[in-house]
Each structure stands twice: as structure tokens, then as C-alpha cells.
Structure 1
Amino acid sequence: MAALAYNLGKREINHYFSVRSAKVLALVAVLLLAACHLASRRYRGNDSCEYLLSSGRFLGEKVWQPHSCMMHKYKISEAKNCLVDKHIAFIGDSRIRQLFYSFVKIINPQFKEEGNKHGNIPFEDKISSVKVDFLWHPEVNGSMKQCIKVWTEDSVAKPHVIVAGAATWSIKIHNGSNEALSQYKMNITSIAPLLEKLAKTSDVYWVLQDPVYEDLLSENRKMITNEKIDAYNEAAVSILNSSTRNSKSNVKMFSVSKLIAQETITESLDGLHLPESSRETSAMILMNVYCNKILKPVDGSCCQPRPPLTLIQKLAACFFTLSIIGYLIFYIIHRNTHRKNKPCTDLESGEEKKNIINTSVSPLEVLLQSFCKLGLIMAYFYMCDRANLFMKENKFYTHSTFFIPIIYILVLGVFYNENTKETKVLNREQTDEWKGWMQLVILIYHISGASTFLPVYMHIRVLVAAYLFQTGYGHFSYFWIKGDFGIHRVCQVLFRLNFLVVVLCIVMDRPYQFYYFVPLVTVWFMVIYVTLALWPQIIQKKANGNCFWHFGLLLKLAFLLLCICFLAYSQGAFEKIFSLWPLSKCFELKGNVYEWWFRWRLDRYVVFHGMLFAFIYLALQKRQVLSEGKGEPLFSNKISNFLLFISVVSFLTYSIWASSCKNKAECNELHPSVSVVQLPQMDYFL
């Protein structure tokens, strides 16, 4: 009964949910999403900088997500590179001073909060010539006005970025009186034209006041209520936004800190000042606002204008457009021809007659149809990644975002299976299915940002190693059995591996190394080819059971292992080789090949291990030590059960080790050796 229910359920699902229906559903979903996002952009505007400064939410602890765009987390080197020879000025009260300290710590984490609390605090990084000043002006008054007025003079050097804000001090010393609020309005009205004038040459931000946690405020601060703060904020917004009559104000409102404070003010130590994590978030937002348009980080879409199309992108767009037009012309001609070729009825005899016209599809039409499909796919990729049509969100890992999609896929996989006639170890159908499952899991891993969770990261590293293991096993087996070292085979494999990625590099304006896995498998294929193709060429037919030739091949593999070890522990030699032109054009990322060396080194032994495994397996099979008849097991039941037990224990041991790793650096150092032990167990288990 259970088998009958399973078959009925499978038949029902296959009837309603096929590959074709899945494609239709996906297309409809994409079109609906595109329409919704386009309407949202039209209604709310398309300025991601404005979203970054005014809206967002916490995805989790310390992870801030601006509305519709991604925020980059700047490293020390990136911050210095962006702010080289720049001058940033923070003007205001103790809250602005806190923001100043958090901003400076992005540039120099060792900087200590030891300055005079009620005085100016300078900072300068001599290497990058970055200058950041805090100017103590706790009230919006004549003193602050004079400081700003000096910068408006033509002969004085102006800061590149000015961050200002104050209000709580005025509320405190005037005991929250309405007269103080009226004076604040008058003072900010007199300062507004000066800020507007500065904003024409510098980036000027006015920081709105964060809410307070009234229960924690000391007695001398009880008059600072959220009601008063809202009144001061409303005054600042209305006055600064109306400082120009005919155009939008150039002074940017930094209001997002209010939203951050609303979520975190309960963690404040005194009820007035934000916890350090919240200040760091606000400082990082400021860094994104200014630096994203300069450094253009891949994962920082906020405040980045759409990049201008390069010449090669324009040529690619023209090519795909012409392909689509050409295919439509062929389609219309073919359709008209098909209509003419329909049978017609002779009125006298009542018999059908056909116009004899050749309606076969030409190879050119098939080619144009393929380019048309590819062009539409690339256009969709470009709209998702490089354009601002779709909203973007930072990756934030949770167990549910990673494991639930995997469970969905596993459940669907139960209802889709096919029988195979192949019974050999790692046959083509088995490895194709294995690669497919691994690619789905790796895709979910990247989308969900699971690299931040170390156990998942290490298990995914094993899947990547397994893919490379199959690269070594598959290509070695082909060359060993076929002995085909012709240029046609090489070009065929290189085209199959690289065609899509090369098109992506052209359309997306990315370097080849950006899609690092394809360069990785390409280089390893060439390593396998060169190792076996160089004299003396040793293949199965030549060896034919001769131990001398087998020993010669083992010497080749030993020399390959020696080269791998040398390059793995000699970073300088590796970088010199791949820094030579034209290799540097393919393997450099951000001006150096370090990233390529790191990626190559992570799985340096795996391909060699796959080659060695293939050689031992094929040699034993040739000598009939191992025989695989159709439907017959490779080993006896006792040996099979023992190997299954070893596989399960090995997998559990690896999982425990991966969960106990302290950091990625430690895990990555041990991974090349540990993964080699894991892979044969996975081969048998699968």
C-alpha cells in the first residue's frame, strides 16, 4: 500500500509540476516582481543614498539592512584608500563625539577615547594623510555659526565631509523651556544658508537627535524627553529643507540613527548615549555614503550609480539585439512558409493537396535562436546584478534560510528519479547527479550567506573538494583509456568550461577571476593534460599490464605532487608565475593574484588524489582484481558493510572536527589534508 501511495503521489506531482510548468511559474514570478519593484521605484524614488540615510531595519544583532540596497563593511585598508588626503569634520555635542570616535576606529581601531570631553579632538593618519576633527559645539548658537562661516570663505580650505548636529545640550541647560526651542529655530535658520553654501562643494550631513531611554536618565537630564527631541528634530528638518526656495536642499539629513537608536537605546548605560555597536553602525553608514561611489565595492550597492557601459558591453548588447531581430525575422518567414504549406482541398475531387515547400529549420536559425535565449538570460542577469531595478539585500545567515531550501529540494528529489544501466564506480550518470546536487547546495550556501557559520562552511568546502576530485578522476580516466591528446579535445573541454563565464565577464564587466571556480577547474584540467601528454605519453593500451610503464606514470604523478607542494608553500614563486602577462589578465583580482593563490591552495591535493584514485581503480580493474558485472556488487556484503560503517564514522568524525574549529584560518590550514581522507568515503557512500 505504501508503494502504491508513493507511485500515485509521484504520478500526481509529475502531472502538475513538470520542468515546463516550473519554468512558466518562474517566468511569471520574475515578471510580477519586476513590475512591483518598478512601481516602487517610481513611487518612492530611485535614490539609494536617501534610503541609506533615512530607512532600514536590523536583520539580526549588529546587522543593519538599509531599504532596497546593500551596505558594505569597510576594512581598514579600504577606508584609508577611500579617504586618502581627505578632511572630515564632526561638529556638535557628546553624541556627535561618540560618532566621531566610531568613525575614526574604522580607520584606526587602536585609537582610544581619551580626548577632552568638552574640547576639540584631532586625529590624523600620517600614512594616508586622512584628517578627522571633532569640534566641540554642543549648542546651535553663534559659536557654531562662526565655525561654519569660516569654511565658507574662499581662501580657507574646506573639509570634504561635515557632520553636524546638536540639541540635547540646549534642552538640558535651559530645562526644556519653549524659549530655548524658539531660540534653536532662530539659530538654525541663520546657520542653514551657510550649510547650504558649504554643501555645494562638500558633503554636509545634519544628524537628527536620537531618542533617549527616559527611565535610565540621571536627575540632571530628566528634562531631555523624547517629546522635546521630536520637537527639535521637526524644527531642524523643516528649516534645513526649506533653506533653498527653488530646489532641493543639498544638506543631507542623517535620520537613520533614530531608527537604530529606537532598537538599541535600552542597552544604553546612561539612557542618553547609544551603545557602541549602534554607533559603529552609524559610522559605517557614513563611510558607505561617502566611499561607495569612490571604491564601488561589489557588495555595497547603496549610493552607487549604475556603472556606465563599457565599449565591450555595448558591442555585446548590439550583438544580442541583432541576434534577437534576426531570429524574429527567421521566425516570421518560417511561420508564413508553414501557412503556405498547409494542405488545401480540391473543390472538384475533394482531395487534399500540399504545396511542396521545404520548411526545415536552417542551422543559422538554430544558432540565432540560441543566441537569442542567451541574450535574454544575460539581460536578466544584468538587471538583477548591475541595474537598480530589483531591490538588494545583504546576506544574513540563519539556520532556516539555509536548511529549509535544502529540505525542499530533497523532498522534490524523492519524486523525480530514473533508473540507470550504468553500474561502474563513478560512472557518468552518477557523477553528473552528484555534481548537480552539490551545485544546488553550494548555490543555497552562497545565497543564504552561510559562510559565516563555520560548520556549514567546512562541509561546503568538502563539496567543492569533491567536485575537484571528480575533475581529476574524470579527465585522468578519459586520457588514460582513450589516449586522445588532440587539440580538438582540449578546445572542446575549455569551451564547455568557460563559455558561459566568458560571456558573463563581458556582459557584467567582471574580471575572469571573479568567477574563481571556473578558472580553478580550467587550470587543473590543463595540469592533468600537460602531466599526461608530455613525453613519455603513458596510456592504458601502452601499459597493458606492464609494471614498468605503471612505474613511469607513478613517477609523473610524484613529480606533479612535488610541484604542487612547492607552489603551495612558496607564495612568491606562485605569484611570479601567475603575474606574468597574459596570465595576469586572467588571474589578477584587485591588482594582485593573492586571491587566486588562496583559492588554489585550499584544495591543492584533491585533483591529484582523484588522478591517483582513478589510476589505482583502472589498473586493478584491468588486472581483474576488481570486476563489475551488471547488477553485481564491487565487494562482498561483509566488506561493503564494513566500508559503509567506515564512511559513516568518517563523516561524523569530520562533522565533529568541523564544529570544534575555532576560526576559518585554522580550518583552512587543515582542510587540504582532512578532505583527502573524506572523499573516498563519500564516493563509496554515494
Structure 2
Amino acid sequence: MGNNGNLSKAELFIQNLNAKNAKKLAFALVLGFVVYHAFLHMRYGSDSCKWLLSAGRFKGDKEWQPYGCMLHKYTETDTRKCLRYLAFWGNQNHFVLIGDERLRSLSLEFIDYLRSSETENNSKQSSNTKNTENVQFTDYKLRLRVEYIYANEVSKSLIDEFIKWEHEEDPPSLIIASCTYPTFQRGNVTEDIQKAYEKNLTRLVSPIDRLYAKKTKIIWKQQDPVDQESSPDEWKNVRNEDVDRINQAASNILLYSEAKIWSSSNMIASGLVDEFADGQKLSSLTLKHDVQILLNMYCNDYMNYNDGTCCSSAEPYTIIQVTTYAFLAVCASIATAMYVRKLIVKWRGIHTYMPLNQPATTDTQSPLSALASLAVIMTYFYLCDRTNFFMKENKYYSEFSFWIPVGYVFALGLFFTEDSKLTKVLHRDQTDELKGWMQIVILIYYMTGASHILPIYMHIKVLISGFLFLSGYAHFTYWWQTGNAGLVRFLNVMFRVNFLTVILCLCMNRPYQFYFFVPLLSFWYSIMYLMLSLPPRITAQIAEANPYQYLYVVVKFITMLATVTVLYMSEVFFERIFV
């Protein structure tokens, strides 16, 4: 069995399941992901606003997931915070929706979402009950104005509206347009009708481009499908094939303008077409999704929500980030040069010798090689976390996505075991393995968005507390058995715990408290070190010789807990000491 030639394929496969090969496989996968996403960006572009408006899919519970970016769910508070922020900086929050009756329903939903109890005495709304009447809503405190203008075709009056806005000193912030032609409900979209529609749209391109030059965003909303089986009589002749032809014609013409084509609204409506009232009136859920898309497009770049990456530009880098990455890049360059030099020396057949009393080292053990690996890892983290290079999705919890990984981890724990030379309860090997499994389960918990499931949330909190206890237990038993409570030991532990976190703070431009668990571990380890290092220092050997020494340990623990509790409960006392 000592010779690889005598091993079976299964035994050889298990033998190759080691950390070194796992690192190689992980690096190959990451490199493949980088190449794949680079190809996607070259092929389809990197504008997340375009992704938001162009495509997506439904998740469970009919939640909409845009392609490649995360959609923040704006509440009334979030929306007003965004509009108030823009108003504070002097921006006019002026929205115009111009189009047919179906766009009017979106404007009414949008206004209902923006209206709140605070705006009852600070707003003005004017509308009529007819579906073809204009609507206007104003909130003076937020410098907000929402208008709906009826237009069932690309006529001279519609073009004149664009020209009028073009000459205004403060044109609208956002214009959403969508219309067909007067006889669209008769169906039978012929080639002549399509060409006439395209010709009318061509006249709209120049006004759109001139408005875009004045910082106005223009969106052309594609026509939504209909439920042909339950449509009213006046919509019976409209087929979804006709809708697709009209949408394709609009896309072909406006592709050469500065207008953005909003096709994801069509996809949302297609997925919820069964909920349409009268077969053609958009459902409430469809309109809510459309409103959320509009708010994400308008506000994300100003609000910087962690779960709202659509239409959000990358954070500006700081001097600290530039300095950190420059240092890592220099280390990586030197390590690469050393590796290339070694290959050249080996290729030339030159052998190097070292003294017998000097231990043999490999390139992977040198500090420069370690820093080069760290540079690659931090660059990958930055691409994932601070840019839209890699596609992102909102977390969505499902029983399958959470329990399958947990079950897989449980199965691995059953079938892969190792022997240990230690026999005590909660010895080093046991606690290390327990903490490793805990970290994997906690990672699954955060990745699958299970925090809003109360039973799982409570169990994970117990797991985190258990992890904290095991960490403290391991440090305490080490000190209890060895008596090593020196400053070197303290700095060694603090460095091991905090090194990666501090590097992340420097590279990601985040405060130390952002990575909350490491500060938590560091705090309690510091408290425990302070308690144990104060005289009298009691160890296992001293306590065995004099059992009364246990009393000092108990008094130390009670004093520590009492002090922390008082500081936690009394904000005034805490501020008098530390502020």
C-alpha cells in the first residue's frame, strides 16, 4: 500500500483530495470565471443600468431578479430619503411619463408610492377619471413633480413636447415614453404600418439626443403583452405577435439614440399575464415591480445600498487603497521575477547549493510568495465586492438552497474522519474541527439569505455564541495549562485573528467594525488576557498544589463580568471613562 502503483483508483483519488490540490482547483475555477465574465463584458457591455432595464427572471414568490445586478427594495422611507438628498443638493426631481393608457396606470402607481401621510398638506394632485386625461403630482418639500401626458401615437404633439422640454432651463430629470399608433387595437400589424411607425419614431431621435445632452434620462418602455383569452372586445384583435413586432420596430430605431429600451417590464408582464385585469390592464404586482425598477435606476447611484448595485457606479478609490495595492503589486512583481529567474536557471542546467546546516525552503514558504498570493486574493475580492465585473444577485431564501448544503456538510462530516492523539474532552483537534463546521454553516446562512427565518436565525445566533465560547475556551485552556500569558503570546494571537481583517479594511475602504465578528473576538480575548495577566496568576499546577487558588479565578471572572455589565448598561458611566 506504500507504493502508488498498488493503490486502486478510488484510493488514489482520495489520496489526492488534499489542500494543495484544492487550492489549484479553486485557482483554476476563479481564472475561468474571470475569463468568462471578461468575455461577457466585451460582448454585452458593463452598464448595469442597461442590465436592469433589459433582462431578468422571476425567483420564488414572484420576486424579480434583474440580470447581473442586485435590486434594492425601496420602502417609503428609502424613497423619501433619496429624493430629499437630491433636493438638498439643488436637483429637481421631475418625472414625466408620456404615452398611452397603460403607461397612465404606471404613473398612478408611481404617484401612490411617492405619496405619504407627510405629503398630504404639502402636495398637489390634479387628474380626472378618464384614462386619457393628464395627471400631475407635486411635493414642494422634496422638489418633486410627476406628470403623466396622454399620447397614443408618435405624433407632432408628442414631438413638440420633447422640443418644449429641450428649451426649458430645467428639463425633466427622467422621461418615460411608450405608445403605438391610433389603430393598434384593431390588430393586423402589416409591414406598411410597421414602416410608418418606424418613420414616426425616427423623428423623435434628434430631440431625445438633445435632451440627453442636457442630463435628462430618457426611457422607451416596450409595450406589454395581453392575455388574448380574457381580453375585452376592443382588445380581441390584438395578438402578442403584433406587440412583439411593434417592440422590435421601436428597438431598431431607438437603438441609435440615447434612449434606453426598457424591455424588462415586458418580461415582468409576460410572467404575470395571468393576473391582468380584463386581459390587458397591468396587475398591481406588475406595476410594483416596475416602480421598484424606476426607483433603483434613479436612486441607487446616490444611496449606495449594499443590496442595490443596479445603476450604481463603483466607489472612488482612496489614497490608502492605492498605497496598499501598490505595495502588494510590487511584492507580486518581485515574486514573479524570482520565479522566472529560477525557471531560467533550471532551464540552463545550473544547480544551486546551500550549507548543510541551513534548512531547505521552497518558494511557497518565502514572505514575498505569500504576499504575492495575498495580492491575487485581494484583487479578486475587490473585483467581486467593489465592482460590477462579476454578476450579482439578491439573496433569496428557499428550503432547498439552505438545507441541501447543510445536508452535504453533514454527510462530509460522517464519511471523512481523522484520528487524533489527544483524548481529553474538547481538545484542540475537536475544537478546531467544530469551529470549522460552524464557519461553513454560518457561511451557508449568510449566502442563502436565511436571516428572516426566525428558527434558523435563533439557531445561528446560538452557533455564533458557541463559536465565541470555543475560541475563548481554547485560549483559556492553553493559558491554564502552560501559564503563558506574556505580551508576545497576546500580540501573536491578535495578529493571527486581525491580519486578514485589517488588510480587508485597507483594500476595501471599510471601517474595522464592518467585519463585526473579528472585533468581537479581539475584544473578548483582550478582556480575558487582561483578567488572567493581572496578579495573582493562577495556573493548573498552582491550583493543584493549593485548591484555594481556584477562588481567585472565580473572583476574577465575577469581577470581569460585573465590570463589562455595568459599562454596557450605563451609557453615562461608559462615556465618562472612555469619551
C-alpha separation in 1, matches of 2:472 and 2:115: 46
Give matches, 1:505-524, under 5 Å.
Answer: 505-524=505-524
Which residues in structure 2 correspond to 1:177-256 (within 5 Å)?
185=198, 187-200=200-213, 201-241=215-255, 248-256=256-264
Q: Distance in 2 between matches of 1:485 and 1:76?
A: 54
Partner of 2:128: 116
Select the structure with the greater relative contact order (CA < 8 A; seq sep ≥ 6). Answer: 2
| 1:296 and 2:304 aligned | yes
Deviations 1:185-241 (A, max 9, x none): 555444443233212220111111101111111123323332333343234333333
5+ unaligned residues in a row in structure 2: which ranges?
A: 1-6, 88-92
Bigger drift between 263-272 and 60-69 goes to: 60-69
Give the stretch that moved more between structures: 271-280 or 146-155. Answer: 146-155
Match of 1:563 among 563, 566, 573: 566
8 Å Cα contact 1:93/1:169 also seen in 2: no
What percent of counterpart residues are identical? 34
CA displacement at 1:120 relative to structure 2 = 3.3
Provide structure 1 residue ranges, at least 5 long, that are not aligned to the other structure: 1-6, 242-247, 344-353, 581-686
Question: What is the identity, as a one-letter code, of the residue corresponding to 2:298?
Answer: Y
Residue 40 in structure 1 maps to residue 43 in structure 2: no
- Tell me the CA shift for residue 443 of structure 1: 1.4
SS of structure 2 residue aligned to 1:270: coil
* 1:283 matched to 2:295: no
Which residue does the alignment assign to 2:392?
392
Partner deviation per Cα, 1:570-627 (whole Å, 9 max, x = no partner): 6x988x69996xxxxxxxxxxxxxxxxxxxxxxxxxxxxxxxxxxxxxxxxxxxxxxx
C-alpha contact (below 8 Å) 2:363/2:369 kept by paired residues: no
Matches within 5 A, 1:93-132: 93-108=100-115, 116-118=128-130, 119-132=133-146
1:58 shift after superposition:
1.1
The question of 1:328 aligning with 2:336 is answered yes
Alpha-carbon shift at residue 475 of structure 1 (Å): 4.1
Q: Amino acid of the residue matched to residue 265 of structure 2? A: S
Q: Distance in 2 between matches of 1:158 and 1:513?
A: 43
The Cα shift of 1:437 comes to 0.2
Equivalent residue for 2:147? 133
**CA distance change for structure 1 residues 486 and 167 in 2, over 3 Å: closer, same or farther?**
same
Contact 1:341–1:356 (CA<8 Å) still a contact in 2?
A: no
Q: Distance in 2 between matches of 1:49 and 1:509?
A: 24
- In structure 2, C-alpha distance between the alignment counterparts of 1:521 and 1:423, rounded to whole Å: 27
Displacement of 1:433 after TM fit? 0.7
Instruction: State the match for 1:57 in structure 2.
Output: 57
Amino acid at match of 1:209: Q
Assess if the C-alpha contact under 8 Å between 1:52 and 1:66 holds in 2: yes
Q: Distance in 2 between matches of 1:579 and 1:143?
A: 68
Which residue of 2 is the match for residue 267 of structure 1?
275
Partner of 2:429: 429
1:438 deviates by 0.5
Q: Select which of 265, 272, 276 maps to 1:257.
A: 265
Q: State the Cα distance separating 1:485 from its structure 2 match.
A: 4.8
* Contact persistence 1:74–1:106 (CA under 8 A): no
CA deviation vs aligned residue, 1:423-442 (integer Å, no higher than 9, x gap): 33322221111100011111
Shift of 1:557: 4.3
Paired residue secondary structure (1:61)? helix
> 2: distance between equivalents of 1:431 and 1:389?
38
Shift of 1:371: 0.9
Stretch of structure 1 that moved more, 160-169 or 328-337 = 328-337
Deviates more, 1:128-137 or 1:175-184: 175-184
Aligned equivalent of 2:556, options 553, 557, 564: 553
Residue 255 of structure 1 aligns to which amino acid in structure 2?
A: S
SS of corresponding position for 2:220: strand
TM-score (norm 2): 0.83
Residue of structure 2 aligned with 1:158, choices 171, 186, 190: 171
Q: Is 2:25 the partner of 1:25? A: yes
The alignment status of 1:370 with 2:370, answered yes or no, reads yes
Which stretch shifts more, 426-435 or 484-493?
484-493
Residue identity opposite 2:96 in structure 1: A
1:207–1:255 CA contact under 8 A, matched in 2: yes
Q: In 2 relative to 1, CA 332–150 (structure 1 residues): closer, same or farther, beyond 3 Å?
A: closer
Does 368-377 or 549-558 show the bigger shift?
549-558
Cα distance, 1:550 vs structure 2? 5.3
Distance 1:483 1:15, change over 3 A: closer
Within a 5 Å distance, the mapping from 1:303-382 to structure 2 comes to 303-331=311-339, 340-341=350-351, 360-361=360-361, 366-382=366-382
Contact 1:81 1:128 in 2 (8 A): no
- 1:14 match: 14
1:144 aligns with one of 155, 158, 170: 158
* 1:474–1:124 distance in 2 versus 1, CA, 3 Å: farther
Distance 2:391 2:245 in 1: 33
Please tell me whether residue 88 in structure 1 is matched to residue 95 in structure 2: yes
For the 8 Å contact 2:175–2:218, the answer to whether it is kept is yes
Structure 1 position 480, deviation (Å): 5.5
Residues of 1 paired with 2:43 and 2:199: CA distance? 34
8 Å contact from structure 2 (residues 231, 280) kept in 1: yes
1:660 paired residue number: none
- Mark the CA change 1:108 to 1:515 in structure 2 (over 3 Å): closer, same or farther: farther
